[in-house]
C-alpha cells in the first residue's frame, strides 16, 4: 500500500465522492492512512484463507450493482453495455 499511484487514486475517489471497492488479494497490513480511508468500505477478500473466491465474486457483484445502473458509466469501457452486463451476470452464475 506504499504505492503513490494507489494513494492518489484513493484520494481522488474520496474527494469526488465515488464509491471505493477494496479488493484484498493477499495478507498485507494497510497503514493507518489507508485504514482511515477504507473504514466505510466493505473489503472483498480473494485469498486462500478468506471466504473463498466464489463467494467473494458474488458479494462484489452485488455491491457493484447497488452503485451502478445499466445506463450509468463510471469511466471508460472496452465493450458494449450488453457485454458488460453479461460479464457481470456471469460472475453471479457461481451460485
Indicate the average pLDDT of the chain: 68
Please give the pLDDT value at position 63: 82
Listed residue (71, 72, 66, 6) closest to 33, CA to CA: 6
pLDDT in tens, 73-95: 555 555 555 555 555 555 555 44
pLDDT in tens, 53-80: 777 788 888 888 887 766 655 555 555 5
β-pairing, 23-24 vs 44-45, is: parallel
Residue 38: φ, ψ to 5°: -95, 0
User: What is the number of domains present in the chain?
Assistant: 1
For residue 60, the enclosing domain spans: 4-92
pLDDT at res. 53:
73
pTM value is: 0.43
Amino acid at each position: 500500500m506504499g504505492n503513490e499511484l494507489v494513494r492518489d487514486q484513493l484520494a481522488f475517489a474520496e474527494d469526488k465522492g465515488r464509491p471505493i471497492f477494496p479488493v484484498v488479494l493477499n495478507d498485507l497490513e494497510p497503514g493507518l492512512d489507508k485504514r482511515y480511508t477504507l473504514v466505510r468500505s466493505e473489503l472483498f477478500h480473494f485469498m486462500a484463507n478468506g471466504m473463498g473466491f466464489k463467494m467473494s465474486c458474488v458479494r462484489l457483484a452485488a455491491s457493484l450493482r447497488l452503485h451502478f445502473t445499466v445506463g450509468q458509466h463510471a469511466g471508460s469501457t472496452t465493450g458494449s453495455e450488453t457485454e458488460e452486463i453479461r460479464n457481470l451476470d456471469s460472475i453471479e452464475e457461481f451460485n
